[in-house]
Structure 1
Amino acid sequence: MKPWILGLTGGIGSGKSAVAQHFIDLGVHLVDADHAARWVVEPGKPALSKIVEHFGGELLQADGQLDRTALRKRIFANADDRRWLEALLHPLIGQEIMQYLARAQSPYAILVSPLLIESGQHTMTQRVLVVDAPEQLQIQRTMARDQSSDEQVQAILKAQASREERLRHADDVLLNDRDLAWLQSEVERLHHFYLSLRGGQV
């Protein structure tokens, strides 16, 4: 039987990575959309040569890798460039994700993506799990982890889908406002529930 796909998302500092890691420890096949976004622009991949053709060779580092920081600056400064890049990369990232998920040996597989809702990647999934946390806690955790300022974290929170929007798409919500042991036991509870589902639906 083909595994069904669970979309896993959550705002910055919600604990999404800790949840993803525990699912992996339980033997669930997981693909990270951020990793797929990096794979499609590796040297030798057609997307990279198209990017260089469009933006010019100064976006390449000496070793032939894409200079992500330079690219980010370019697309944040120019909405047309951003749209061009998204039109090129989104379908390719989608293909990478699908190919990787297709190799799953577990009864269900997970697509973890910070932008699951915003990018439309939730359409590849049969069920959505949102890791949620009170905003104040998200800010504290992120500041501690990234040594970033309150303003920086607020700016990232604004750019991500609003909590309401994410929760509206959720089939399951894991409220991560306690310690790691509790979080892991919640993941195990969900895992057992997911193993009982066919095609991701009750």
Structure 2
Amino acid sequence: MMAFTGRDGICSDNIYLIRQRMFRVADIIKNVKYTVLHKDELMIIRSRFIYGRNFLTAFNPDTGAIVWQQDGPVPATTFFGEHIYVFFYLKMPAVLGRFAIIDSKTGRLLKDVDVTAELTEQGFRTADYYFLAKQDNYLYIASGYGKSLYAFNIDTAKIEWKQPVVTEAGWISDLKLYNDRLFVTDESDNLHVFKRT
């Protein structure tokens, strides 16, 4: 059994371990597919994305009290500091692109921008999945099946550059940022390193 990975979430093998050691309120989430996003004073759970919607729920792990809840769609989320970043481009049934920032302690929406036109113009694919990394006022986005990197300006909600990831692999599998380097892995376990200029 793998160890609990904290803010990075959990895998299905760890669900039993977490329920036993951390959840006194396991009945609330029994038989629900979920992902643990955060564990400090609050536990934040993202429910399974079904029929174009899901939700984030933050609760106190000691008392089980729900502190806040955000109704979706929130198919993919990433933590940076005390904020949850939501980014997607889906067809549900109309195409919808969204960028949002949520305060992880209060659930308050700090930013919520419709980026449908911008992502359509930049050639984003619907039903793709995205990996995010953040530095300063930029969100770096790796599109899984689109096999491209993007620099998204958080202040203007615009894509400032796009860089294809040249690979024979079928998709991108992860994105990490360290100093001025972007590290991208693909499904063939190749590592692509990009230097930001």
Q: Which has the higher contact order (CA 8 A, sep 6+)?
A: 1
Q: TM-score range by the shorter chain?
A: under 0.3
Instruction: Please identify which structure carries the higher helix content.
Output: 1
- Using structure 1 for the length normalisation, give the TM-score: 0.26
Rg bigger for which structure?
1
